């Protein structure tokens, strides 16, 4: 006899898995047919798992006094040793929260060894930096502040410098009971960073049910993005930022590119485990059309190339031109708004 608590449930689950598997196989087989990219139409039903992605929340409330203080500090060049560089020098809101360069330039013209990621929506990433070496935004700041090629300073130098500024002393004592100190400076900047989120993208309107918010080609692009398996890595509210993956999972990215540097080792630099070599935190794809050049090495400024590189090295395949175009079109729907308009 089959009983509800055990075997029946398991058989049900098995049937469901087999059905889902067959369905996905059928779709992927369809996509595989490079000659017929138009086989997928707008109304082709693809079950959107809520695990794939969610819209950016619209109404997160922040302590505006802290946000204002954080914004001021973020733009204050006195955080650098020679008063030339602020956080905003390398994270420019109007450039999608990046600096648009392959490598950033810090104090004394120092060139960094890795591409600057966007700070937009960074609060949704599960760790900070390409290799995830900082657990949160507060810890992340120790990096640029002390880095000899970024700000070349230290918290004690910053504290000493800003202590002469009556404005900060007064503003901090209003907002923080324990006044002007490093932990509160970090808290203010991190609060500002948490406010740098970009809701209201066309894609989010689509996720919320407005099918007309994106075009037919963009919608097909989103479906292909799932069917090809991009969303196995780029998922969650940021379409990225919630796992580490190997760059060159299916093909030898670094061998083909050449000139391997220490920055290319990724998580290996933190854990020193061979199995972590070339692993990076999967980057967010929110606002990706605005954050060129792409990849930790700033390899290409063309989104189209980035998609093809991903197909080759992460999925081990070439994808037909029409599919790559559709995916690029979909990626453009991820441009969001900061405080109601384009950042
Ligand atoms: C000279 C350029 C430069 C300056 C100045 C700079 N950054 Fe960055 N920022 C970078 C680069 C490059 C990275 C990536 C480094 C890495 O992953 O190893 C980065 C990474 C980050 C990240 C992680 C984002 C993510 O997705 O992982 C945050 C957050 C951030 N910076 C905030 C700040 C703040 C706050 C300041 C000021 C205190 C600052 N940055 C100053 C270049 C800069
Ligand atoms: C196996 C996991 C995985 C899969 C599958 C995957 N990606 Fe990625 N993606 C990554 C990782 C890891 C990076 C960062 C690599 C680096 O910088 O070296 C990345 C980077 C990117 C970037 C550059 C983002 C930036 O800001 O620099 C884009 C664009 C991108 N992926 C799109 C896609 C698309 C489109 C697909 C499907 C065709 C896809 N990815 C499939 C893991 C994956």
What are the pLDDT digits (tens) for 143-188? 999 999 999 999 999 999 999 999 999 999 999 999 999 999 999 9
Give the pLDDT score at 33: 43
Residue range 226-241: average pLDDT? Answer: 96
Report yes or no: 320 and 228 within 8 Å, Cβ to Cβ: no
User: Using 50, 70 and 90 to split pLDDT, how confident is the model at 17?
Assistant: low
Give yes or no for residue 45 having a pLDDT over 60: yes
Residue 199 has pLDDT above 60, yes or no: yes
Q: Does residue 16 have a pLDDT over 80?
A: no
Q: What is the pLDDT of residue 259?
A: 97
- With cut-offs at 50, 70 and 90, classify the pLDDT of residue 44: confident
Contact 182, 319 (CB under 8 A): no
Q: Where are the alpha helices (DSSP H) in the chain?
A: 9-32, 64-74, 87-90, 137-140, 142-146, 155-162, 166-175, 182-195, 202-207, 216-227, 253-257, 268-271, 303-314, 321-332
Worst-scoring range by mean pLDDT, 25-34, 102-111, 218-227?
Answer: 25-34
The pLDDT value recorded for residue 237 is 97
User: Which of 96, 99, 230, 310 to mutate to test ligand 2, by most ligand atoms within 8 A of the CB atom?
Assistant: 310
Residue from 136, 139, 157, 138 nearest 79 by CA: 157
Please, which residues bridge with residue 111 across strands?
105
pLDDT at 12: 57
Which tokens hold the place of 168? 């900060």
| pLDDT score of 43 | 77
Domains located in the chain, CATH noted: 42-55+199-332 (1.10.760.10), 64-195 (1.10.760.10)
User: Across the chain, what does the average pLDDT equal?
Assistant: 91
- The stretch 235-248 carries a mean pLDDT of 98
Q: Distance between CA atoms of 68 and 27, rounded to whole angstroms?
A: 49
Across residues 128-140, what is the average pLDDT? 98
Instruction: Give yes or no for a contact between 86 and 145, defined as CB atoms under 8 angstroms apart.
Output: no
Three-state secondary structure call for residue 105 = strand
Chain segment 75-89, per-residue pLDDT in tens: 999 999 999 999 999
The binding-site residues of ligand 2, defined as CB within 6 angstroms of any ligand atom, are 228-230, 232-234, 245, 247, 249, 280, 282-283, 285, 288, 291, 294-296, 306-307, 310-311, 314-315, 327
List the one residue out of 243, 195, 222, 234 whose CA is nearest residue 327: 222
Q: Considering the chain, what percentage of its residues have pLDDT values greater than 90?
A: 84
Separation CA 291–CA 261 (nearest Å): 23
Rounded Cα–Cα distance for residues 69 and 327 (Å) = 39
* Ligand in closest contact with the CA of 241: 1
Of the listed ligands, the closest to the CA of 76 is 1
Contact between 284 and 125 under an 8 Å Cβ cutoff? The reply is yes
Ligand 2 atom closest to Cα of residue 294: 27
Model pLDDT, residue 37? 46
Q: Which residues contact 311 (CB under 8 A, 6 or more apart)?
A: 228, 317, 318, 319, 324
Residue 35 pLDDT > 60: no
User: Which pLDDT band, with edges at 50, 70 and 90, does 203 fall under?
Assistant: very high
Residue 329, both tokens: 């079109």
């Amino acid at each position: 006899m089959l009983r509800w608590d055990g075997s029946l449930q398991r058989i049900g689950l098995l049937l469901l898995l087999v059905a889902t598997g067959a369905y996905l196989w059928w779709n992927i087989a369809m996509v595989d047919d490079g000659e017929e990219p138009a086989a997928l139409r707008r109304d082709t039903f693809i079950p959107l798992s809520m695990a794939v992605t969610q819209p950016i929340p619209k109404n997160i409330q922040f302590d505006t006094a802290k946000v204002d203080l954080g914004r001021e500090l973020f733009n204050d060049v006195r955080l650098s040793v020679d008063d030339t560089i602020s956080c905003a020098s390398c994270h420019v809101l109007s450039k999608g929260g990046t600096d648009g360069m392959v490598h950033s330039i810090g104090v004394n013209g120092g060139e960094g060894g890795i591409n600057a990621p966007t700070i937009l929506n960074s609060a949704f990433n599960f760790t900070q930096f390409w290799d995830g070496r900082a657990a949160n935004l507060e810890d992340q700041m120790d990096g640029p502040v002390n880095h000899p090629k970024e700000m070349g300073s230290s918290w004690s130098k910053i504290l000493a410098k800003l202590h002469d500024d009556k404005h900060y002393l007064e503003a901090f004592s209003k907002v923080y009971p324990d006044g002007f100190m490093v932990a509160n400076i970090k808290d203010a900047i991190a609060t500002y960073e948490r406010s740098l989120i970009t809701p209201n993208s066309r894609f989010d309107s689509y996720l919320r049910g407005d099918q007309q918010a994106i075009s037919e080609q963009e919608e097909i692009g989103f479906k292909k993005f799932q069917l090809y398996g991009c969303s196995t890595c780029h998922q969650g509210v940021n379409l990225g930022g919630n796992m580490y993956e190997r760059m060159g999972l299916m093909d030898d990215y670094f061998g083909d590119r050449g000139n391997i540097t220490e920055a290319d080792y990724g998580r290996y630099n933190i854990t020193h485990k061979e199995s972590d070599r070339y692993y990076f935190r999967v980057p967010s794809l929110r606002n990706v059309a605005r954050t060129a050049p792409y990849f930790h090495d700033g390899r290409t400024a063309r989104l189209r190339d980035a998609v093809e590189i991903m197909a080759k090295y992460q999925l081990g395949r070439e994808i037909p031109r029409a599919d790559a175009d559709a995916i690029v079109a979909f990626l453009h729907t991820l441009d969001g708004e900061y405080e109601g308009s384009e950042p």
